[in-house]
Amino acid sequence: MICDNNKNILAISECINGNHHDSYNLVPIVKKMFKSLKKTVKIKKGIYFNADSGFDTKDFRAYLTKEKMIPNIKNNKRNSKKE
Protein backbone atom coordinates (compact mmCIF):
# COMPACT_ATOMS: atom_id res chain seq x y z
CA MET A 1 0.00 0.00 0.00
CA ILE A 2 1.27 3.49 -0.82
CA CYS A 3 -0.02 6.34 1.36
CA ASP A 4 0.50 10.09 1.44
CA ASN A 5 1.58 12.19 4.43
CA ASN A 6 -2.00 12.26 5.69
CA LYS A 7 -2.29 8.45 5.65
CA ASN A 8 -4.61 8.51 2.64
CA ILE A 9 -4.24 5.35 0.59
CA LEU A 10 -3.02 6.19 -2.92
CA ALA A 11 -2.33 2.73 -4.34
CA ILE A 12 -2.55 -0.88 -3.22
CA SER A 13 -1.01 -4.01 -4.63
CA GLU A 14 -2.79 -7.13 -5.70
CA CYS A 15 -3.05 -9.85 -3.08
CA ILE A 16 -0.33 -12.50 -3.01
CA ASN A 17 -0.08 -15.74 -1.09
CA GLY A 18 0.69 -15.30 2.59
CA ASN A 19 3.67 -17.63 2.42
CA HIS A 20 5.86 -14.93 0.84
CA HIS A 21 8.00 -12.37 2.68
CA ASP A 22 7.45 -8.59 2.33
CA SER A 23 10.08 -8.15 -0.36
CA TYR A 24 8.82 -10.99 -2.60
CA ASN A 25 8.63 -9.71 -6.19
CA LEU A 26 8.78 -6.20 -4.72
CA VAL A 27 10.09 -4.12 -7.62
CA PRO A 28 7.58 -5.37 -10.24
CA ILE A 29 4.72 -4.96 -7.76
CA VAL A 30 5.70 -1.39 -6.85
CA LYS A 31 6.29 -0.50 -10.51
CA LYS A 32 2.73 -1.58 -11.25
CA MET A 33 1.42 0.45 -8.31
CA PHE A 34 3.28 3.58 -9.45
CA LYS A 35 2.09 3.09 -13.04
CA SER A 36 -1.50 3.09 -11.77
CA LEU A 37 -0.83 6.02 -9.45
CA LYS A 38 0.80 8.14 -12.18
CA LYS A 39 -2.49 8.12 -14.10
CA THR A 40 -4.02 10.42 -11.49
CA VAL A 41 -1.14 11.99 -9.53
CA LYS A 42 2.05 13.68 -10.59
CA ILE A 43 4.87 12.14 -8.58
CA LYS A 44 7.59 14.68 -7.89
CA LYS A 45 11.27 13.82 -8.13
CA GLY A 46 13.16 13.85 -4.86
CA ILE A 47 10.30 12.68 -2.63
CA TYR A 48 11.00 10.38 0.29
CA PHE A 49 9.70 6.83 0.15
CA ASN A 50 9.26 5.54 3.71
CA ALA A 51 9.18 1.81 4.41
CA ASP A 52 10.01 -0.60 7.19
CA SER A 53 12.94 -3.01 7.26
CA GLY A 54 11.00 -5.72 5.39
CA PHE A 55 11.53 -3.65 2.23
CA ASP A 56 15.30 -3.23 2.70
CA THR A 57 16.69 -4.84 -0.46
CA LYS A 58 19.40 -3.68 -2.84
CA ASP A 59 17.06 -4.02 -5.83
CA PHE A 60 14.31 -1.94 -4.25
CA ARG A 61 16.68 0.80 -3.10
CA ALA A 62 18.20 0.88 -6.61
CA TYR A 63 14.73 1.11 -8.19
CA LEU A 64 13.74 4.04 -5.96
CA THR A 65 17.01 5.83 -6.72
CA LYS A 66 16.51 5.26 -10.46
CA GLU A 67 13.04 6.79 -10.12
CA LYS A 68 14.62 9.83 -8.39
CA MET A 69 13.04 9.01 -5.03
CA ILE A 70 14.89 9.04 -1.74
CA PRO A 71 14.61 5.68 0.04
CA ASN A 72 13.93 6.14 3.75
CA ILE A 73 13.97 2.47 4.68
CA LYS A 74 15.02 1.10 8.04
CA ASN A 75 18.06 -1.15 7.66
CA ASN A 76 17.30 -4.83 8.06
CA LYS A 77 19.62 -6.76 10.34
CA ARG A 78 19.57 -9.74 7.97
CA ASN A 79 21.54 -7.64 5.48
CA SER A 80 24.36 -6.97 7.96
CA LYS A 81 27.48 -9.00 7.45
CA LYS A 82 28.72 -10.75 10.55
CA GLU A 83 32.45 -10.91 11.03
The answer to whether 53 and 73 have CB atoms below 8 angstroms apart is yes
Which residues is 13 bridged to in the sheet? none
Predicted pLDDT of residue 83: 53
Predicted pLDDT of residue 27: 93
CA Rg, the chain, in Å? 13
Q: What is the pTM of this model?
A: 0.77
Furthest C-alpha separation in the chain: 48
Q: Does residue 23 or residue 36 have the better pLDDT?
A: 36
- Name the pLDDT band for 9 (thresholds 50, 70, 90): confident
Q: How far is CA 57 from the centre of its chain?
A: 10
Condensed to tens digits (0 to 9), the pLDDT of residues 24-51 reads 788 999 999 888 888 888 888 888 999 9
**CB proximity list for 6: less than 8 A, separation 6 or greater:** none
